[in-house]
Amino acid sequence: MGKYQNILLDLDGTILDSGPGIKKSVQYALDHFSLYHQPEEKLRRFIGPALTDSFMRVYGFSTEQAEEALSYYREFYPTNGIFDASLYPGMEECIKTLAEHGKKVILLTAKPIFFAAQITKHFRISDYFFWKSERS
């Protein structure tokens, strides 16, 4: 199983295809700025980087506008976007196997830990991860 004991895995784009929920939540925020029906390629650029940075980089928002857009995003995401995602094929088995072989599987994400915990629980993979706050 290899010599490494600590395995770091990113949530969005590695374990989970969270694109659909993120893109819908970003579009919801953009609607408040009258930027309706944005192209897929622009919305896709929000998956991964910090959202405020993406609002500034992709749409030229000021810091204040980006913070306002983030508040709209956060208004929509917890009830409409958070679980609009899917595990990549084979990821559950991979994470389970690593954990069963004594590896410390550590989740990396830019998401607030509250959301990450909900997501991993929803997709039934939370028990495979080392959660420092719970085990320290």
Total Cβ atoms within 10 A of residue 83: 15
Beta bridge partners of 106: 8
Spatial separation of the C-alpha atoms in residues 123 and 134, rounded to whole Å: 19
Q: Where are the alpha helices (DSSP H) in 32-111?
A: 40-44, 51-59, 63-76, 91-100
The single residue listed with the structure tokens 């389970």 is 96
The single residue listed with the structure tokens 């980006």 is 66
Spatial separation of the C-alpha atoms in residues 66 and 18, rounded to whole Å: 21
Q: Which amino acid is present at 54?
A: S
Residues known to be catalytic: 10
